[in-house]
Every structure is written in C-alpha cells, then in structure tokens.
C-alpha cells in the first residue's frame, strides 16, 4: 500500500486529496508557490514544501516535482486535475524514479491526449465518433477542402487541446479562414503543438460524460454519467448526475460505450469518457485521463470515493466494487462558484475574502480551499469553491440547490452564485431538458438584482450620520 503521496497540485483538489490520504492513513505532502504560501492545502497537509517564487513555473516542472517526491520519501504522486495531470512526461519520469503515478500510463495519456489518435482508437473499438478528418490537417488549404467535404458548421480543434481551449466553431469558409491562424496560435502557446483537425459541428448537443474506473487486473466499471450541458464558452458551470435527460436505455448504452473505450486503450485508474448526444445519436468526443472537477456528484449518487479508488488502484489493489454492485440513487448537482461577475461579462473578481460562510444541512457538500481572510491570487483559475447538493428527486435537488446557494456567503469578491440561482428558477432548466446552447440562449439570466450586504448598508448609514454630524 502507498505510504506517502506528493500532491502535485493546489487549491481545492489538493485539499480533497489530503482528506482522502488522512482517511487512508497515508501521509500527504503539499507543494506551494509564494502566491500559495497561506493556502488551505498547505495548512492541511502533513508536510508542505516551497516550489519557488514564480506562481506557475514550479507547478509545471515535472522533473522538479518528481525529484521533490523522491527527496521527501514519497512513494507516489497524485497530479489532481489541470496543470500536469494529463502530462505523459510526468508519468514517465515517475516511472523512471520509482514513484507511482496515480493515473494511467504515459502511453495511454499520450494516445488519448492526441485527439486524432483517440478518434482512431475509438473507431477501431466500434465506439461512434463525430464525422471529421482522419488525421490532422496540414494547412489552411486542406482545412478548407475538408470542411467542404464534411459540411459546415465545423469545429476546428487543437489536436492536443483540452479544457475548452484551442477550439472554434466555424459556420462558413470565411469564419474558418479567420479562425485557423488563431487556433494555431492558441494551440501552440497552450499545448506546445500547432496540430489541428476538423470535426462536424453537432449543433446544440447535450454534453454527457461517463466516469470509469479500471484496475490492473482487467476490471473496468462505469459509475454512470454526468450531464455537463450547462456551460459557457466550453467551460462547465453546473454539472448534474445522473442526467435528467437520458432514458434508461441511453444510460446503459453510454455506460457500456465508456467501458468499451477504456478497455480498448488498456486504461487503468480513474478516467472520463465524454460524449455528445444529439437527435438520439451518441458521439465520442474525448477521454480525460485524470480525475474530473465534477467527480464529486458521481460520488454523491453512488457512494463510491473516487480518489480513494485511485489510490487503491495505484497501490496494485483490485477495484473495491463490481459493476453489478454499483447503483445510483437520487440526483446531485455541482455548482462551480467562480470569482467572476456575470453582470459584467463574467469579468474575473480576484481579491480578499472578507467573509465566508459555508452552507450546510442535509445533502450539502462544499469542496473548497478558501477561508475568511484568504486572498484569491490572480494567477490561477477563478474557482472559489464547488457547492454540491444531493436529493432523492430532481425537483428536490434543484430546491436544495437554491437553498444552499442562498445560505452561502462569499463576501469581498463577486461570484457566480446569484447567476446559478437564476438558472435554477428557469422553467427550461427545471424541465430537465436543455443543451449546450442554454447559457447563450438566456442572456437575461445575468440581469438579476444583487442583495445589499447588511454590514455594508450599516457602514454606509454610519458614514452618512458621521458626515452630517461633522465628525
């Protein structure tokens, strides 16, 4: 069994891994840049080590991270999500130095990170994929020819892309001509590769993903699906498990496809297979070779601790559950509470958290790294916390979400919380029938009124009285 883990990440996912380690009797080692010196994951881990002044460089240096794991006596490394979580080089260096990488092999990461290679693997396994190019396009001229063959609209995608970056929808030849150099530039900067390919744009699909677990004994299971259709500019905002939009037959079909996809590439550990669903047809989109931000809602409906399973698998143990033992119960929603102002085009709102009150009560969970007095640094993702609610029915889950969002207080920065309340009140959302166009189709939901903070009102009144009295 693994005895000590270096957590090669920060923020709430690092705190999440620290908690799993504590429950399993495993020592945890946190890392931090100067910007993260006072972060919660640093306070909660058994040990914490600086990775330098630069806010990003240390988190993105695979050899430095593995060297630190060796120096601190760790026998494993957990990459979390983001940063180097899908970096094949990190997995390779871990193998070289005798450190267990809590994730799939470097070969699988590389194959699934290459979107055209992933498409070929899925086609070979009989998993339906979106119509598109067989491989990368050499230049703009070839892209234009292929787009005419596929038919507009098309999606121009970075081959090594992920997280909603390096992707553009092109409705015409003119839009493709404009988007091509931009995607090439973005892909090169973000992923170090200028390779791109084309896919048919599935207009207004539902975005459905399936969670899988696979061990080294050939056992692969799915933990049902999550609905990630509520998103803005390819960035997920609210996730739901299971999807209220699927029939039992569709649910079983997608789960079977996810298991088939994982087995086809020899997958091991936790992963997610993402699909698009439109007009009754299911299309493979990509495979994420890491734990997902939204793994929480799958844990809520199945009762399975995904991070714990990750550690067990990396320790060489078999899965603790079989497919026939896995059931789902109720509905769970996750709200990504971002430090952004929806009323101002979702402008980032970094700064000091002057007050933070976590919501509670039945069926409410928060995964976060913020606290009262914490300053959100401007160098990282804007997510403050993940608010997760669970209830037996879809209607009860939505109502619980409204109550929990109302209970929560994050003061000092603007957040997306009131915007999510508007979504939960929307009749289309409440009907359980929506797709990826929901956010852009409802711009009116950002026109909510902001509740005045009582303490701010008291200060304003006191200031006015003092001014009037000449104090």
For helices 306-314 and 295-302, the axis angle rounded to 10 degrees is 100
| Residue 120 parent element (H or E) | helix 115-125
pLDDT of residue 460: 59
User: Do residues 378 and 395 share a domain?
Assistant: yes
User: Do residues 194 and 214 share a domain?
Assistant: no
Question: In Å, how far from its chain's centre is CA 342?
Answer: 20
Closest CA to 409 of 387, 438, 427, 382: 387
Closest CA to 56 of 386, 381, 413: 381
Residue 376 lies in a domain: yes
Residue 110 lies in a domain: no
User: Do residues 234 and 194 share a domain?
Assistant: no
β-partners of residue 157 are: 167, 197
Residue 457 lies in a domain: no
User: Do residues 158 and 242 share a domain?
Assistant: no
Q: Which residues have a catalytic role annotated?
A: 290
The residue ranges of DSSP E strands in 342-392, in sequence order, are: 347-348, 355-357, 364-368, 383-391
* pTM for this predicted structure: 0.91
Q: Which of 84, 102, 120 lies at the terminal end of a domain, its last residue? A: 102
| Structural domains of the chain, count | 3
User: Do residues 185 and 236 share a domain?
Assistant: no
Q: What is the pLDDT of residues 442-469, one digit of tens each?
A: 999 999 988 666 655 566 576 677 777 7
- Residues 202/278, Cβ–Cβ less than 8 Å: yes
User: Do residues 332 and 432 share a domain?
Assistant: yes
User: Which CATH number belongs to the domain containing residue 327 in this structure?
Assistant: 3.30.470.20
User: b or e along 429-464 (b: 16 or more beta carbons within 10 Å of the residue's beta carbon)?
Assistant: bbeeebbbebbeeeeebbeeeeeeeeeeeeeeeeee
Q: What is the pLDDT of residues 284-325, one digit of tens each?
A: 999 999 999 999 999 999 999 999 999 999 999 999 999 999
Residue 395 lies in a domain: yes
User: Do residues 287 and 420 share a domain?
Assistant: yes
User: Do residues 256 and 369 share a domain?
Assistant: yes
pLDDT of residue 109: 97
User: Do residues 81 and 143 share a domain?
Assistant: no
What is the distance between the alpha carbons of residues 283 and 137, in angstroms, rounded to a whole number? 21
pLDDT of residue 121: 95
Domain of residue 76 covers 4-102
- Total Cβ atoms within 10 A of residue 317: 15
pLDDT of residue 104: 98
Residue 460 lies in a domain: no
User: Do residues 298 and 395 share a domain?
Assistant: yes
User: Do residues 295 and 196 share a domain?
Assistant: no
Residue 331 lies in a domain: yes
User: Which CATH number belongs to the domain containing residue 158 in this structure?
Assistant: 3.30.1490.20
User: Which CATH number belongs to the domain containing residue 75 in this structure?
Assistant: 3.40.50.20
- Total Cβ atoms within 10 A of residue 105: 19
pLDDT of residue 391: 98
Q: For the chain, which residues score pLDDT lower than 70?
A: 163, 451-460, 462-463
Tokens of 367: 């995964």
User: Do residues 224 and 320 share a domain?
Assistant: yes
pLDDT of residue 459: 60
DSSP character string of 194-256: --EEEEE--SS-EEEEEEEEE-TTS-EEEEEEEEEEEEETTEEEEEEES-TT--HHHHHHHHH
pLDDT of residue 440: 96
């Amino acid at each position: 069994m693994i005895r000590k883990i270096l957590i090669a990440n920060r923020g709430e996912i690092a705190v999440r891994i620290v908690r799993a380690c504590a429950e399993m009797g495993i020592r945890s080692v946190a890392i931090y840049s100067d910007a993260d010196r006072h972060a919660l994951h640093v306070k909660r881990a058994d040990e914490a080590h600086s990775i330098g002044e630069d806010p990003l460089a240390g988190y993105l240096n695979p050899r430095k991270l593995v060297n630190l794991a060796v120096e601190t006596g760790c026998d494993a490394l957990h990459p979390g999500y983001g940063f180097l979580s899908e970096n094949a080089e990190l997995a390779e260096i871990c193998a070289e130095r005798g450190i267990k990488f809590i994730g799939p092999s470097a070969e699988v990461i590389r194959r699934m990170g290459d979107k055209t290679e992933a498409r070929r693997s899925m086609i070979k396994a009989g998993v339906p994929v979106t119509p598109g190019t067989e491989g990368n396009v050499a230049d703009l001229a070839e892209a234009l020819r292929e787009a005419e063959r596929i038919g507009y609209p098309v999606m121009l995608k970075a081959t090594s892309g992920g997280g909603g970056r390096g992707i553009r929808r092109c409705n015409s030849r003119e839009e493709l001509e404009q988007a091509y150099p931009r995607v090439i530039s973005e892909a090169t900067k973000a992923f170090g590769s200028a390779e791109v390919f084309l896919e048919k744009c599935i207009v207004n699909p539902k975005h459905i993903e399936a969670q899988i677990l696979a061990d080294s004994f050939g056992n692969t299971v799915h933990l049902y699906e999550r609905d990630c259709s509520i998103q803005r500019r390819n960035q997920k905002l609210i996730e739901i498990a299971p999807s209220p939009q699927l029939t039992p037959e569709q649910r079983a079909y997608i789960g079977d496809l996810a298991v088939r996809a994982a087995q086809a590439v020899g997958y091991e550990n936790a992963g997610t297979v993402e699909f698009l669903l439109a007009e009754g047809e299911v299309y493979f989109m990509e495979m994420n070779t890491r734990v997902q931000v939204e793994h929480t809602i799958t844990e809520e409906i199945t009762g399975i601790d995904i991070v714990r399973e990750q550690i067990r698998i990396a320790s060489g143990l078999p899965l603790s559950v079989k497919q026939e033992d896995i059931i789902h119960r109720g509905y769970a929603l996750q709200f990504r509470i971002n430090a952004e102002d929806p009323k101002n085009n979702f402008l980032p709102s970094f700064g000091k958290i002057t007050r933070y009150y976590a919501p509670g009560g039945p069926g409410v969970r928060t995964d976060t790294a913020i606290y009262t007095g914490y300053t959100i640094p401007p160098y990282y993702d804007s997510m403050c916390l993940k608010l997760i609610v669970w209830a037996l029915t879809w209607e009860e889950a939505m109502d619980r979400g409204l109550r929990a969002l109302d209970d929560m207080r994050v003061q000092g920065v603007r957040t997306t919380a009131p915007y999510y309340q508007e979504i939960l009140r929307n009749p289309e959302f409440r009907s359980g029938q929506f797709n990826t166009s929901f956010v852009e189709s409802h711009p009116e939901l950002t026109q909510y009124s902001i509740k005045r903070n009582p303490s701010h009102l008291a200060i304003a009144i006191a200031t006015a009285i003092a001014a009037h009295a000449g104090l």
